[in-house]
Amino acid sequence: MTTINQSFKPRTGGPASPSRPFNVAMIGLGFGSEFIPIYQEHPLGNVAAICRRNESELHKVGDEFGIEKRYTTYEQVLEDPSIDFVHINSPIPDHAWMSVKALEAGKHVMCTVPMATTLDDCRKVVEKVADTGLKYMMAETVVYSREFLFIKDMYERGELGDIQHLAASHPQDMDGWPDYWQKMIPMHYATHVVSPCLGLVNGLAEYVSCFGSGRVREDIAKKSGNPFAVQSCHIKIKDTELTAHIWRFLYDVARQYRESFDVYGTKKSFEWTLIENEPHVIHTAKKPEHEIAQKIEVPDFAHLLPEPIRKFTLPQEIHDTEHLSFIQGGGHGGSHPHLVNEFLTALAEDRDPWPNAVTSANWTCVGICAHESAMQGGKIVHLPDFTLGR
């Protein structure tokens, strides 16, 4: 199993073919249903079953996509020997136990973010993956967005020079979202900001220091156990001289949704737009001051995908544009088909997907350690060894 220094290698269309497509069971059909048509059209994928507790909603999705096997309990899915892997899109408190149970039942796991919300649950998933030799991937959308692929491409071609600093923010007002968000701590859902910072330089977090700022309203503070409106964290990246800065809020701060990623290099830097749908900016060193900043159009990276699923990088292919994750998430930078392709090709090539279980745990545990740090006034908290591949 790859542990540390796991690197990102974009696929270029022609993966090894197994004798038959891999059978996925889609668990949770809110955000999860976005992935169904992509699996259906991928040459290596087959949506063999769907699962959600609400029977009438289950049938609606089954009828829409022509899927015959429909389960209302997760246990039924795990007992089905035809299922190769589950793609979990259930609410956050269900991610860890569902992942562990699937691995115990001999199924590979693709799971939406975050891996879990406690260090202990992350450790259980990592250990179960090591014990079983099965594949686990956290479906982190940001590191397969066109912006990330664009920045990564520039970095690998040497255009940015040496990286000097990374920063990411994810402000999002969750009023109006399902109630379980009120129990969440901002840094417990931080992988969208942690992952680009660590993923770009192929690093793992070693330790963090996080400060809380402001106050969230009393009922949210009570339900979540987090008193702060904003959590702001520095991450020391292991075996490098780099520090990244991330910040988050979920309630009670006036700001448009944003999942931003800024990278500062010696030659060029990338800064995310302040307002959604406006152009991002590239800064180039040693130019006359008024020429340093240039607005840019980020290209799409659909050419990295097998032809039948290239169209899914485009927002108009998202069938449920009413879902809040689309309205606020804007289609997640065309990442969904890249995620599907990465997991299916990893299975076909019998290699670890990116991010694998250890890397996913490191990205997730940054947020868990950050909250611990914030509750102790910014104290330095080290990432546990199991997230470092030790």
Ligand X SMILES: NC(=O)c1ccc[n+]([C@@H]2O[C@H](COP(=O)([O-])OP(=O)(O)OC[C@H]3O[C@@H](n4cnc5c(N)ncnc54)[C@H](O)[C@@H]3O)[C@@H](O)[C@H]2O)c1
Instruction: Note the residues at the interface with ligand X (CB under 6 A).
Output: 27-31, 51-54, 74, 89-92, 94, 112-113, 141, 178, 325, 329, 332
Question: How far lies 355's CA from each of 79, 147, 171, in Å?
Answer: 27, 18, 24
Q: 354 or 381: whose CB is closer to ligand X?
A: 354
SS3 82: coil
d(CA 119, CA 368): 7
d(CA 187, CA 100): 23
| Residue 321: CB minimum distance to ligand X, A | 14
| Residue 309: CB minimum distance to ligand X, A | 18
Eight-class DSSP state of 343 = H
Are residues 205 and 238 in contact, defined by beta-carbon separation less than 8 angstroms? yes
Q: 192 or 236: whose CB is closer to ligand X?
A: 192
| Residue 179: CB minimum distance to ligand X, A | 10
Are residues 166 and 242 in contact, defined by beta-carbon separation less than 8 angstroms? yes
Question: What does the H/E/C string look like for 50-64?
Answer: EECCCHHHHHHHHHH
Q: 28 or 171: whose CB is closer to ligand X?
A: 28
Are residues 146 and 153 in contact, defined by beta-carbon separation less than 8 angstroms? no
| Residue 90: CB minimum distance to ligand X, A | 4
Nearest residue to 187 via CA among 206, 208, 166: 208
Nearest residue to 147 via CA among 26, 289, 1, 272: 272
Eight-class DSSP state of 211 = E
Helix locations, 265-356, DSSP H? 324-329, 336-349
Read off the amino acid at residue 140. Answer: E
Q: 94 or 206: whose CB is closer to ligand X?
A: 94
| Residue 11: CB minimum distance to ligand X, A | 20
| Residue 17: CB minimum distance to ligand X, A | 28
Q: 94 or 159: whose CB is closer to ligand X?
A: 94
d(CA 230, CA 151): 27
First to last CA, the chain: 12
Q: 49 or 92: whose CB is closer to ligand X?
A: 92
| Residue 68: CB minimum distance to ligand X, A | 18
Q: 353 or 389: whose CB is closer to ligand X?
A: 353
Half-sphere exposure in the Cβ direction for 258 (13 Å, CA): 24
| Residue 241: CB minimum distance to ligand X, A | 30
Q: What angle do CA 120, 237, 144 make, to 5 degrees?
A: 80
Q: 30 or 43: whose CB is closer to ligand X?
A: 30
34 exposure class (CB count in 10 Å sphere: 0-12, 13-18, 19+): buried
| Residue 129: CB minimum distance to ligand X, A | 19
Question: How far lies 43's CA from each of 13, 81, 98, 224, 305, in Å?
Answer: 10, 21, 27, 43, 11
Q: 92 or 197: whose CB is closer to ligand X?
A: 92
Closest residue to ligand X, judged by C-beta, is 30
Q: 113 or 305: whose CB is closer to ligand X?
A: 113
SS3 22: strand
| Residue 325: CB minimum distance to ligand X, A | 3
